């Protein structure tokens, strides 16, 4: 099979986007947070809280200076990747410490905790639930000791540290994970009360999106109103389409449909696909069908539009026999598949039509369905 386009680099960020509504995004943002410092007294009977806090307040040394320079470089790389992935100019300076903004009196969106001392900072402003959306590689990149933070938080009975992981820079994973993530958040808020602190790494993508979904699904906000409130208080990127898609997933009972992808060609040893519902950082191998001389992938997908690309013997390629996108802003072309209810008069089709409008809102009955879903969703570990 001849291909239209070959790429040696991974395609740019392109999550499953079944809708035509605009994203909420900011043009420029850099952090300039102000910090408070926690004083710790050392004595012979030092307990775990004191040991953790003192470890976080080490004095400046040549090694510390080198670490600071390394953190600055990592922040530069992370900010560049974030801007490229999200299509909005965003900056995160890890070396400046934790930063955050109140969205509501009881809801904060911010960057990651870096040391156990950050737990004290959040307790001092009344936070009862710390909700971490980072994956282990995110933490390792900036050398954050999550176990030390969680261990320190567990020594208090007035704050709880919870994790619910979402892959960074991946709108598809955000969509897939939001029902479970918001369910866990909803139950934690009901249990702990007080102020909730939601964070990812920079607090500019996953955390505000989770806050938006929570406000939309649980607190009764209209989607546009909640998005506007978040953006007034914290400049960030809101993947509204991922939240709309996750809303449809819940209301349609997480209904999936089977699709088949085919790569015709015998003169290759491996064929994989990336994108779809797994994100661009993951790959799925196709199975070779000797009878037909083609490579096959069958997969069940939630309704929506998914972009993907083949990797044939290590080279990124589009399939000319399957639908292709227009050239995107980075000059890339991808294949795509539209997974829809074949009956245009179905309730599912009507819902997707409503989701495509700029002023979409939930009906009272839909809000009840979502609340029941979140209440009954199985708890994660």
Instruction: Give CA–CA dist 170/205, Å, rounded.
Output: 10
Angstrom distances, CA of residue 375 to CA of 220, 287, 314, 337: 15, 39, 44, 33
**DSSP E strand stretches across the chain:** 6-7, 100-104, 107-110, 127-132, 160-163, 195-199, 256-264, 271-275, 279-285, 287-289, 294-302, 304-312, 315-317, 335-339
Instruction: Give CA–CA dist 356/159, Å, rounded.
Output: 40
Q: Count other C-beta atoms under 10 Å from residue 177's C-beta.
A: 21
Q: Are 123 and 158 in contact (CB under 8 A)?
A: yes
> Tokens 């499953």 sit at which residue?
16
Q: Are 299 and 258 in contact (CB under 8 A)?
A: yes
Q: Considering 3, 20, 112, 200, which one is annotated as catalytic? A: 200
20 is catalytic: no
- As separate numbers, helices (DSSP H) first and strands (DSSP E) second, the chain gives 11, 14
- Going by C-alpha positions, the residue among 338, 329, 330 that lies closest to residue 307 is 338
CA 199 to chain CA mean position, Å: 11
Q: Name the 3-class secondary structure at 23.
A: coil
Instruction: Give CA–CA dist 44/155, Å, rounded.
Output: 19
> Tokens 């992370």 sit at which residue?
78
- Supply angle C-alpha 254, 255, 261, rounded to 5: 115
Q: Are 249 and 182 in contact (CB under 8 A)?
A: no
Q: What is the maximal distance between C-alpha atoms in the chain?
A: 76
Angstrom distances, CA of residue 186 to CA of 139, 210, 226, 297: 24, 11, 16, 37
Active-site residue numbers?
200
């Amino acid at each position: 099979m001849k291909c239209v386009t070959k790429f040696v680099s991974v395609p740019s960020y392109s999550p499953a986007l079944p809708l035509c509504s605009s994203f909420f995004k900011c043009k420029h943002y850099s952090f300039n947070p102000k910090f408070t410092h926690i004083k710790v007294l050392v004595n012979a009977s030092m307990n775990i809280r004191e040991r953790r806090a003192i470890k976080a307040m080490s004095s400046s040394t040549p090694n510390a200076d080198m670490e600071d320079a390394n953190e600055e470089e990592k922040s530069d790389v992370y900010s560049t990747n974030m801007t490229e992935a999200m299509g909005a100019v965003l900056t995160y300076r890890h070396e400046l410490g934790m930063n955050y903004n109140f969205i509501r009196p009881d809801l904060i969106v911010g960057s990651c905790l870096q040391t156990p001392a950050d737990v004290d900072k959040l307790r001092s402003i009344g936070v009862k639930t710390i909700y971490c959306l980072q994956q282990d590689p995110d933490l390792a990149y900036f050398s954050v000791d999550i176990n030390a933070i969680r261990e320190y938080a567990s020594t208090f009975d007035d704050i709880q540290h919870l994790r619910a992981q979402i892959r960074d820079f991946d709108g598809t994973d955000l969509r897939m994970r939001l029902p479970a993530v918001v369910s866990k958040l909803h139950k934690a808020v009901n249990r702990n009360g007080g102020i909730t602190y939601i964070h990812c790494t920079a607090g500019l993508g996953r955390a505000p999106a989770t806050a938006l979904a929570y406000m939309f699904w649980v607190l009764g906000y209209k989607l546009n109103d909640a998005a506007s409130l978040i953006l007034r208080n914290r400049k960030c990127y809101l993947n509204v389409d991922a939240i709309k898609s996750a809303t449809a997933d819940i209301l349609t009972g997480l209904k999936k449909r089977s699709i088949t992808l085919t790569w015709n060609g015998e003169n290759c040893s491996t064929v994989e696909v990336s994108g779809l519902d797994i994100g661009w950082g993951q790959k799925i191998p196709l199975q070779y069908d000797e009878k037909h001389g083609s490579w096959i992938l069958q997969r069940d997908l939630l309704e929506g539009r998914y972009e993907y690309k083949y990797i044939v013997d290590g080279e990124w390629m589009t399939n000319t026999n399957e639908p292709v996108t227009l050239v995107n802003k980075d000059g890339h072309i991808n294949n795509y598949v539209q997974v829809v209810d074949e009956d245009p008069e179905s309730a599912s089709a009507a819902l997707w039509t409503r989701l495509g409008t700029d002023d979409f809102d939930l009906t009272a009955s839909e809000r009840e369905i979502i609340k029941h879903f979140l209440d009954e969703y199985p708890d994660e570990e």
